[in-house]
Structure 1
Amino acid sequence: MTTRPAAPFPRATPEGLLWEPSERWVRGTAGDVTVVDSRHPVLVWEPRLPVPQYAFPRKEVRTDLLRPARRPRTGSHTGSTVFYDLHAAGDPRPNAAWTFPADDLSGYIAFAWFGPGGTGLDHWYEEDEEIFVHPRDPHKRVDAMPSSRHVRVEIGGTVVADTAHPVLLFETSLPTRYYLPREDVRLDLFAPADHSTRCPYKGTADAYWSWRGDGAVPPHILWSYPDPLPAVAVIKDRLAFYNEAVDLTVDGERLPRPVTPFSAGLRA
């Protein structure tokens, strides 16, 4: 039986890592092979990364599938010098796993979260639900709430959406996103885009549109979640714009365009 240290958490290590135990059952697979099957994971935050990652007790990892890395990616994780190549489901996956130098985490192994063709595992599950991109942060909230606010969206002075029936999505550390009824968006002004993204809190956004008109407008500015995760089911099939690249007016108040981690990628 694994003994969990007493609270408070998260705890800091001399290397600048933060960590805390999780009680979620976590599994990771490469092809048809279950590489991680853990009921005692820990969440680890590195100083330069805004999202957590999991690390797992060695006994809950298929360490027989790991080999010392041929070309360790020293410097890619805080203080880590021990890296492993994963030999499962076909070709070796370089630097798929590593250990952290902190004494608190000496018995744990972390894994990359990149899918097929990358270096990490293909699928991850918390309990029986697949999760994407990175573990969910227990200190972050995502709330989707129906509202009667009046929301108007403009691009270059053209009104592209106008509704009194939005769903407001509040996500810690990000601006409020406004998910609008499809019938209240001028979709005729946009072209379908071959683009998709994944979110650990909302699921897969595999419906995107780009602006047809003039002006320095970034591509993929409008998106939808056709099949969102149950926690935010109310946004299903609704449409949202990047606040960073459009002009939003809410209840008569023009909102400033925020600067977020997405801003750098939103260039026309």
Structure 2
Amino acid sequence: MGLAWQQGPLATGAIGRFLVPGDLPERLLFAEPLRRRMRVRLGDSWIADSEDVVLLHEPARYPVAYFPLADVVADVLEAEARTTQHKDLGATAWFTVRAGETSKRRSAWQHTELPDYASDLKGRVAFAWRAMDAFFEEDERIVGHAADAYHRIDIRQTSRHLVVRDGERVVADSSRPLVLFESGFAPRWYVPREDVEHDALTPVEGQTFCPYKGLCSYYDIGAAGHAAWSYQEAWTEVRRISGMVSFEADKVEVELDGKRLEPEPGQGVISHGVDRDLSVEELSG
């Protein structure tokens, strides 16, 4: 996803390449101003509030927000004896974060011996996303991880013919699928429920969460586990795929205009699970 995750240009599994004469460093980190007001809540308290957040993109990691120490509430950070070494950014000091009766160990960090090239992060601290109770941009809660401005989703209507089979059984047959193009992923094809054999889908317990699409439900198809998925109530930005069904091409046969689709390298999704132990109801709301 985005700039440094999945198959983005700075990711370890990037599918493209930079057209430069020499070799690039094995790892490229990218820091930039977020240019959005971000706030952090722990317990009943706002512990950080800043319009000067820097977002760090690091290969194979979600974006991380770094706050100026001046924008963190006094006495919230309690230094720990623990120090670690970041492979690019040097010594890292860790903090317990306290707010009222709430205390979270090892839930904030600061790079204390930054090399000159990483001075953008000097005097800044980051909070562990799952340890905090909430992150907000303005008055809207952000779940999953800091929003990646380079992550994009485009949805297009198409009249291409998509057929899904489980052995000899036709599970879906549609000439009106939607194709979803998402940064770092191969295209995903979504079929209207009316074009799916409803009794071919067996609902599976448990859901996963996408910070850009919402809660995802899964289905078995015959003996193929988790062979299909659906966002029953997709978030506003991708509302068009709500209730539609997409299929895993490595678990059932997915054919587009007579050509069988094959899974593309690096397309395995690392699930978020449910963010910070939030309930399904809270995420849905």
TM-score category of the 2 structures, normalised to the smaller one: 0.7 to 0.9
Do residues 145 (structure 1) and 151 (structure 2) align? no
Equivalent pairs, count: 242
Cα RMSD after superposing both structures: 2.8
Q: Which moved more, 1:19-28 or 1:72-81?
A: 72-81
1:27 Cα deviation after fit: 2.0
CA contact (8 A) 2:96 2:108 kept: yes
Bigger RCO of structures 1 and 2 (CA < 8 A, at least 6 apart): 2
Aligned to 2:226, the other structure's residue is in SS state: coil
Greater strand proportion:
2
> In the TM superposition, what are the counterparts of 1:98-113 in structure 2 within 5 Å?
98-100=109-111, 101=114, 102-113=118-129
In the alignment, what sits opposite 1:240?
A: 246
1:104 Cα deviation after fit: 2.1
| Distance (Å, rounded) in 2 between the aligned partners of 1:162 and 1:90 | 56
Aligned to 1:183, the other structure's residue is in SS state: helix
| Distance (Å, rounded) in 2 between the aligned partners of 1:172 and 1:147 | 19
What is the CA deviation profile of residues 74-101 of structure 1, one whole-angstrom value per residue up to 9, with x for unaligned ones? 5599535211122236553222111233
Do residues 126 (structure 1) and 126 (structure 2) align? no
| Distance (Å, rounded) in 2 between the aligned partners of 1:243 and 1:89 | 50
From 208, 211, 218, the counterpart of 1:208: 218
Change in CA separation of 1:52 and 1:153 when aligned onto 2, cut-off 3 Å = same
User: When the two structures are superposed, what TM-score results if normalisation uses the length of structure 1?
Assistant: 0.78
Change in CA separation of 1:257 and 1:93 when aligned onto 2, cut-off 3 Å = same
| Distance (Å, rounded) in 1 between the aligned partners of 2:180 and 2:84 | 37
Query: Partner letter of residue 227 of structure 2?
Result: I
In the alignment, what sits opposite 2:76?
A: 65
Post-superposition, which runs of at least 4 consecutive aligned residues in structure 1 deviate over 4 A? 70-78
Q: Which moved more, 1:245-254 or 1:73-82?
A: 73-82
| Distance (Å, rounded) in 2 between the aligned partners of 1:31 and 1:226 | 31
| Distance (Å, rounded) in 1 between the aligned partners of 2:211 and 2:175 | 28
CA contact (8 A) 2:36 2:51 kept: yes
Query: Partner letter of residue 251 of structure 2?
Result: A
> In the TM superposition, what are the counterparts of 1:25-174 in structure 2 within 5 Å?
25-47=37-59, 49-69=60-80, 71-72=82-83, 74=85, 79-88=90-99, 90-100=101-111, 101=114, 102-114=118-130, 120-174=131-185
Aligned to 2:186, the other structure's residue is in SS state: coil
1:146 Cα deviation after fit: 2.2
From 197, 217, 236, the counterpart of 2:208: 197
Query: Partner letter of residue 260 of structure 1?
Result: G
Tell me, which stretches of 5 or more residues in structure 2 are unaligned? 1-9, 11-26, 272-285
Percent identical residues = 35
In the alignment, what sits opposite 1:7?
A: none
Do residues 262 (structure 1) and 268 (structure 2) align? yes
Tell me, which stretches of 5 or more residues in structure 1 are unaligned? 1-9, 115-119
Aligned to 2:90, the other structure's residue is in SS state: coil
1:123 Cα deviation after fit: 2.1
Change in CA separation of 1:155 and 1:60 when aligned onto 2, cut-off 3 Å = farther
What is the CA deviation profile of residues 170-219 of structure 1, one whole-angstrom value per residue up to 9, with x for unaligned ones? 011101111211122223123222212222221222x32223x23xx3x3
What is the CA deviation profile of residues 106-145 of structure 1, one whole-angstrom value per residue up to 9, with x for unaligned ones? 121112221xxxxx21222223332222222222321122
Aligned to 2:164, the other structure's residue is in SS state: strand
| Distance (Å, rounded) in 1 between the aligned partners of 2:43 and 2:161 | 47
Query: Partner letter of residue 191 of structure 1?
Result: T
CA contact (8 A) 2:83 2:91 kept: no
CA contact (8 A) 2:190 2:246 kept: yes
